[in-house]
Structure 1
Amino acid sequence: MGDVVRWAAFSCVLVPLVLVGYGTSAAGAAGTALGLAAVTAACRLLLRRSERGAAQLHSEQCCPHRGRHGRGGAGARGGGHRAGRGAPVE
């Protein structure tokens, strides 16, 4: 994401300079720079939100939800009252 933001900031500086070089007024170039900066900030915000959502989705799919005290669900410790092999039958 850092490269994208750097290129966007570079273009926010470069585009107004080019506009002034081609004869656009300084006020028009400044307005363009402000508009580009606003679009860059909005895109950066949306990109960060998207990355956080993707990371959260990945962690939910990758690792099962842990219980209140760091254990899985019921029987996470291997306890429980199951009668299996070698268990005394009453």
Structure 2
Amino acid sequence: MSGPRPDPEPRPAPDTVSDVIRWAAFSCALVPVVLLWYGTSPAGAAGAALGLAAVTTACRLLLRRSERCARRHGGDGEVSAEDSGAQRGGRHTRRPTPVD
């Protein structure tokens, strides 16, 4: 009886940004159809479609930018407490202090 076998090649991470963008594009097409079905004016449905398309485009750009930054800064996407600024403010000492 042998233990679990290691994978010969690591599996690539799923492209979640593309999945999100595909769902957003689907919503951009579906929402105006539903609005028209329920009696909204064509101008209102077109306005909703344009608004959703603008938000989707902005989100896509921001997601791709964050992916590039994550790859540039180590690839794992994790930021330490020091890098994030979580330790700003408060008392700073060089040595550990006892906890009550």
TM-score scaled to structure 1, two decimals? Answer: 0.64
Cα offset, 1:5, TM superposition: 0.7
Q: For the residues of structure 1 that align with 2:41 and 2:61, how far apart are their CA atoms?
A: 30
In the alignment, structure 1 residue 56 sits paired with structure 2 residue 77: no
CA displacement at 1:8 relative to structure 2 = 0.4
Partner of 2:82: none
Of 7, 23, 28, 2:39 maps to 23
CA RMSD, Structure 1 to Structure 2 (Å): 0.9
Q: Percent identity, aligned pairs only?
A: 73
**Aligned residue-pair number:** 59
Matches within 5 A, 1:1-90: 1-58=17-74
Offset at residue 39 of structure 1 (A): 0.1
Gaps of at least 5 residues in structure 2 are 1-16, 76-100
Residue 2 (structure 1) shift: 1.1
Per-residue Cα deviation, 1:20-49 (whole angstroms, up to 9, x for no partner) = 011100010000000000000000000000
1 or 2, which has the higher helix percentage?
1
Amino acid across the alignment from 1:12:
C
Runs ≥4 residues deviating over 2 A:
none
